[in-house]
Amino acid sequence: MSDSIFTKIKNKEIPGNIVYEDDQCFAIEDINPQAPVHILIIPHKEITKVSDTSSEDKDLLGHLLYVSKKIADRYDLNDNYRLIINNGAGAGQSVFHIHVHLMGGRSLEWPPG
């Protein structure tokens, strides 16, 4: 299988703004931001979606959320931000490499629709 668009950004094969990287994941600015801060937190491992994970991915999934919190702190989002994972095309997923959307910097309505 070919690399996902996010992996290509990480590998600098296509442009993108990488704002964080560690041994398990990396984070980029969303190309089409829906909030003043809109960051995607992505595992190095190319899992397509949450429903395709198994018990061996538990720690990695937790790590993605913890890194999301660390990045939110770095952007001074305090306790006002939203974390979203779209699972499947019917739920709005368009890139099939798991990613957490971190959105903040404006007031966020609920439900999102």
Active site residue 99: yes
Least separation, in Å, of the C-beta of 40 and ligand 5GP? Answer: 6
Task: Name which of 72 and 99 has its Cβ closer to ligand 5GP.
Answer: 99
Q: Among residues 94 and 107, whose Cβ is nearest to ligand 5GP?
A: 94
Q: How far is the CB of 58 from ligand 5GP (least distance, A)?
A: 21
DSSP string, the chain: -PPPHHHHHHTTSS---EEEE-SSEEEEE-SS-SSSEEEEEEESS----GGG--GGGHHHHHHHHHHHHHHHHHTT-TT-EEEE---SGGGT--SSS--EEEEESS---SS--
Active site residues: 99
